[in-house]
């Protein structure tokens, strides 16, 4: 499969899974009422984020939305051009699709009302990681896989093969 198609397939999977999970939690959960899955360490807690990463720039108006849109368009243009030119290894396509899929999913979620639906809640007692969603998870997974691809690609170049 061509790298651009791998990126597109992973992007579409992320969009679908994120939309399905957000739709499900909004129908099943009561906002801000935790539902334990693994004791108090991991639970589902429906909440909404008006900011960007970890709630930064909450209530920042339309500015963060416009900036995010510009960044996404730039990433799409970069992805298509670098995959077509062969500058990236073909194995980078799926991780980039995960990153873009997560970014687009959160962007689309934010469009109607200026907020993103979050529901994954992890931590110990009152020490908790900021609530996040499936799109956030795929972005982090994509970045980790892209780093791994980058490191293994550099190692294979360094070993002469």
Q: Catalytic residues, which ones?
A: 118, 136
> What's the rounded Cα separation, in Å, for the pair 44 and 110?
20
Closest to 93 (Cα-Cα) out of 104, 103, 102, 84 = 84
Question: Is residue 48 within 8 Å of 116, Cβ to Cβ?
Answer: yes
Whole-number Å distance between alpha carbons of 161 and 154: 10
Contact 161, 103 (CB under 8 A): no
Give the C-alpha separation, 5 to 17, whole Å: 18
Place of tokens 């992320």: 14
CB-CB contact of 136 with 129 (8 Å): no
């Amino acid at each position: 499969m061509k790298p651009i198609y791998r990126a597109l397939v992973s992007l579409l999977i992320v969009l679908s899974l994120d939309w399905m999970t957000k739709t499900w939690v909004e129908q099943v959960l009561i906002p801000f009422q935790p539902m334990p899955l693994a004791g108090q360490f991991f639970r589902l807690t429906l909440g909404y984020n008006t900011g960007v990463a970890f709630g930064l720039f909450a209530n920042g108006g339309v500015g963060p939305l416009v900036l995010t849109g510009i960044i996404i368009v730039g990433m799409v243009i970069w992805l298509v051009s670098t995959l077509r030119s062969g500058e990236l290894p073909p194995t980078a396509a799926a991780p980039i699709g995960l990153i873009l899929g997560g970014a687009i999913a959160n962007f689309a979620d934010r469009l109607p009302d200026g907020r993103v639906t979050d529901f994954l809640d992890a931590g110990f007692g009152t020490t908790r990681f900021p609530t996040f969603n499936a799109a956030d998870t795929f972005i982090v997974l994509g970045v980790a896989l892209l780093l791994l691809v980058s490191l293994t690609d550099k190692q294979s170049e360094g070993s002469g093969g």
